[in-house]
Amino acid sequence: MQDESSLFSCCQLAFALYSTYIYVSVIPEKDNPPLLQLESETTMADEMQALLNRLTEQELKKIDAQRQEILDHAHKEAEDLLAEARREAAAIRDQASQDATLMTQKGQEALRQASRDVLIDLREKLKARVAGAVRDIVSESLKPQSLTEILTVLVTRYLEQNGDVDDLTVLLPPAQLEALEAAVKVKLGEQLRSRCQFGPAAGTDEGFKLVFQGNDIMYDFSLEALTEAIAAHVSPKLSRIITDAP
């Protein structure tokens, strides 16, 4: 392209010099104008101008072609960049959708786990409160006066139903043994009193135990045993009420 530009410039310079020469040559010399010389030089100038026109036209065509090539290349690059941007945007959308789905699943699982934890914690607290309430009620029922009545009824009915079998032993808290034994024997009467034995229940602070000699059977009615048994019966029902609640 530089060579053609140089050629174009040289032609323009030559044309300018030649035109100057023609102008100088056609000045009349005294009284004899050079007509033939002017015609010849005019023809050469026309040819020179035609050559310049051809060079200029070729140069313009080449410039147009280069310009179109640049535009086509730029257009292709723009399309490639746009396609790449669309692919990246689609990938980002897909990844974002996957992340959102995963986060939703994790959130739902965390919510379910939290719900389970709350229910478990609530059940445990409920069990503890039920056990505490049952213990208070049972403890109140095992006060010496109430316990005397309970033991009197139990011993009387058992001895009456089993005739002359003297196999019943009542184990009482060591601290209450003497007082409770005396109170129960007073209520039992002479006939039943002699058929029932009383003894200390080691490790028992409240309540009593019934032991049937010869059968190796013992019924535990201590505060701890009664509380555990009653709470175990009541707690599941309350737990189901909480679990099934809307």
Q: How far apart are CA 245 and CA 40, in angstroms?
A: 119
Tell which wins on pLDDT, 175 or 236: 175
SS3 content of the chain, % helix, strand, coil (to 5): 75, 10, 15
| pLDDT of 24 | 43
pLDDT digits (tens, 9 = 90+) for 103-115: 888 888 888 888 8
Return the top range by mean pLDDT from 8-12, 58-62, 130-134, 236-240.
130-134
pLDDT of residue 42: 63
Q: What is the sign of the dihedral through the CA atoms of 238, 239, 244 and 246?
A: positive
Nearest to 147 by CA among 171, 175, 180, 178: 180
More confident site: 121 or 48: 121
Compute the mean pLDDT over every residue in the chain, rounded to the nearest whole number.
Answer: 75
Residue 34 pLDDT exceeds 80: no
Instruction: Tell me which range, 23-32, 66-75, 173-182, is most confidently predicted by mean pLDDT.
Output: 173-182
pLDDT range class, residue 160, cuts 50, 70, 90: confident
Sign, CA dihedral 78-84-87-91, equals: negative
Query: Is residue 203 within 8 Å of residue 194, measured between CB atoms?
Result: no
In whole angstroms, what separates CA 14 from the centre of its chain? 84
Domain ranges across the chain:
2-71, 142-226
pLDDT digits (tens, 9 = 90+) for 35-73: 444 455 567 666 667 766 776 777 777 777 887 888 888
The highest-level CATH class for domain 142-226 is alpha beta
What pLDDT score does 232 carry? 81
Residue 48 burial class via C-beta count within 10 angstroms: exposed 0-12, middle 13-18, buried 19 and up: middle
Least confident of 21-25, 149-153, 197-201, 211-215: 21-25
